[in-house]
A and B are shown apart, each in its own frame.
Chain A
Amino acid sequence: MIEKLDQIFVSLLHWLVSSLPATLQPLAGVLLSVVAIVCLFPALFALTTVFERKGLGRIQNRLGPNRIGPFGFFQPIADGIKSLTKEDIVPLSADAVVHFLAPVVLVVAVFMGFAVLPMGRHMVLVEMDAGLLFYFAMGASTELAVFMAGWSSRNKYSLLGAMRAVAQMISYEVILLLSSVTVVMMAGSLSLTKIVEAQSSYTWGFPHWYIFTPWGCAGFVMYAIAATAETNRSPFDLPEGESELVAGYHTEYSGFKFALFFLGEYLAMFSISGLGTTLFLGGWSAPFSFLTWIPSWTWFFSKLMLSIFVFIWLRGTLPRLRQDQLMNFAWKFVLPMCLLNLLVAGAWRFMGEGWPRWFVCSVILVAAYAGLGLSEMRKGKIGPRSYRYAE
């Protein structure tokens, strides 16, 4: 019964597909799952907008939207209608084609990411051997979309915002890649399903999730930082910094295109946290051995919502980082830590079972963190702001 529940979606899919003629079956199967993803995640997006505004409100000791629907849960529908009906103003001097293409490219790129994430046991859209590589390949084109948006609207602020966003995304993409490479090295394969399987065994009831290993923990922290930066969220949301750059690269967008950008951003958040869970939090595997009876996809989505909550939490608490602080932090602190983490993972692999492995790796990482971090602090690299006026 539990397996049936676990595989409910898979069996649903098979059942639907089997009803179609043989030649179309593979195509239909793929189409159906695509449709499923395309519907599920925007719904989730709507939900999270409410969660976010309610969450932020609670953090700032206020209620958040509660007028439309019970506790304000129909707010997204209202926003959706608003964005659809709003007039879509395109600046005269804007480059029409690129201006129109930008949001489309962004959303498509982000959706492509979901193809590879294993939502549950046997519930992955495409079982790809180089799944992680595919994910990062798709992720790479988001920067291009952001740039197209920023540049095509022929607006100083949007261009500046786009430039900052791209620079930030490039820097943190390197860190994202490196931290996930550690996981790939330990799991020995690029395909996400194999990674999840590697983490699904238990000892004394505790799962073998990678986060519970020293390098895994450090990797997850760095991954989280990179993820927030990649999606221009919370402390790193400089590009849309309302106070300085109006709305960053999507200032000149209004109406549905603006909604698309908003959707794109949230989808990026979902996919990157989904990847995070598969890499570090054991994907759809249960937290404790005795809880395996609960269907796998529930674990995946609960972990997903947990990380979304963390994002919202971060947004509510942390102040915005400056551009040069952000860059120095990436290149002079996180990147070296990632490389070191890679080494530590290597060492971890060759030191064999036993407590010395744990002790040595954690000591190295803590020492590195302290040393590198303190030196950065002392030198004030992350500290004071350095100005450079336009020539």
Chain B
Amino acid sequence: MSVVFYVLAALTVAGALAAVLLKNTVHCALALTVAFAGLALLFLNLDAQFAGFAQILVYIGAVAILVVFAILLTKGSETPRDGVFSRTWLVGLVIAAGVFAVLSWAVINSVRVLPHETAVPQVTVLQIGNALVGRYVLPLEIVAVLLTAAMIGAVIVAMHEKVGHEKEGQK
């Protein structure tokens, strides 16, 4: 298990924890981008180059900006008066811990079954292109339709009643 993996894992988990626990929502958003970057690097570490860059382009490039815009638009940046966490936060925490316990227990138990060391798959963008247009052409088309629909939907949902707001949150 290479050092790089540990470093990246630590980075991502730290980013995620910060995104969840920080008081200031904008800081949470920025921590989130760090988590996304960490994940992208993990993808690259798993030799999924295209996925890594796509992750960066989509999440850091668009979703992070989107989240930040949303925060600013909803005046989330000021720290909320009555505490950051919801009243029954303990229950949530316990449930999350429970889920983690179950998942990790499952992973550890199944260590025998899972395949371990395999060759590094050489993946070129051409292969991905052929796969996308060949075997997965239907999901591609459906995602295309989905994205257009989501774009229009988001615009309509967030549109200001009287005058069209500038196009935030449309990525």
Contact = CB atoms under 8 A, between A and B. Distances in A.
A94 to B, nearest CB: 13
B61 A173 contact: yes
B166 A327 contact: yes
A183 B14 CA distance: 40
Nearest to A323: B166
Q: A129, A159, A327, A388 — which one has the most chain B CB atoms within 10 A of its CB?
A: A129
B27 interface: yes
B64 interface: yes
B125 A129 contact: yes
B26 interface: yes
Contacts of B163: 386, 388
A323 B50 CA distance: 35
Interface string A162-173: 010011001101
Contact of A327 (B60, B72, B167): B167
Interface stretch (A144-152, A225-233, A361-369): A144-152
B53 A170 contact: no
A148 B65 CA distance: 10
Interface string A128-163: 111001101111110110011001000000010001
Contact of B61 (A128, A141, A388): A141
A281 interface: no
Interface in B18-68: 24, 26-27, 30, 33, 40, 49-50, 53-54, 56-57, 60-62, 64-65, 68
A166 B125 contact: no
Interface residues on B, range: 20 to 34
A141 B60 contact: yes
B53 A167 contact: no
Contact of A190 (B30, B125, B171): B125
Given A128-B49, A190-B125, A133 B54 contact: yes
Contacts of A388: 163
A98 B30 contact: yes
A167 B54 contact: no
Interface residues on A, range: 20 to 34
A143 B49 CA distance: 22
B38 to A, nearest CB: 14
A331 interface: yes
Contact of B65 (A128, A134, A170, A191): A170
Given A137-B57, A327-B167, A388-B163, A130 B49 contact: yes
B50 A130 contact: yes
A230 to B, nearest CB: 12
Interface in A166-200: 166-167, 170-171, 173, 189-191
Given A148-B30, A189-B126, A140 B167 contact: no
A328 B30 CA distance: 30
Contacts, number: 80
Nearest to A173: B61
Nearest to B58: A140
Interface of B is mostly: helix
Interface of A is mostly: helix
A144 B166 contact: no
B115 to A, nearest CB: 25
Contacts of A173: 61
A210 B153 CA distance: 37
A133 B65 contact: no
Given A98-B30, A143-B61, A190-B125, A130 B53 contact: yes
A271 to B, nearest CB: 16
Contacts of B124: 129
A323 B27 CA distance: 28
B168 interface: yes
Q: B27, B50, B56, B69 — which one has the most chain A CB atoms within 10 A of its CB?
A: B56
Contacts of A139: 61
B50 A170 contact: no
Given A144-B33, A151-B26, A129 B49 contact: yes
A188 B26 CA distance: 41
Contacts of A386: 163
The 3 residue pairs across chains A and B that have the minimum distance between CB atoms: A140-B61, A137-B56, A137-B53
Given A137-B54, A144-B64, 17 more contacts: A95-B26, A95-B27, A129-B49, A130-B49, A130-B50, A137-B40, A137-B53, A137-B57, A140-B57, A141-B33, A141-B60, A144-B60, A144-B65, A144-B68, A189-B125, A190-B125, A327-B167
Interface of B: 24, 26-27, 30, 33, 40, 49-50, 53-54, 56-57, 60-62, 64-65, 68-69, 72, 77, 124-126, 163, 166-168, 171
Interface of A: 95, 98, 128-130, 133-134, 136-141, 143-144, 147-148, 151, 159, 163, 166-167, 170-171, 173, 189-191, 323-324, 327, 331, 386, 388
30 contacts: A98-B26, A98-B30, A129-B124, A129-B125, A130-B49, A133-B50, A133-B53, A133-B54, A133-B57, A133-B125, A134-B53, A137-B53, A137-B56, A139-B61, A140-B56, A140-B61, A140-B62, A141-B33, A143-B61, A144-B64, A144-B65, A147-B65, A148-B30, A151-B26, A151-B68, A151-B72, A151-B77, A167-B166, A170-B171, A386-B163
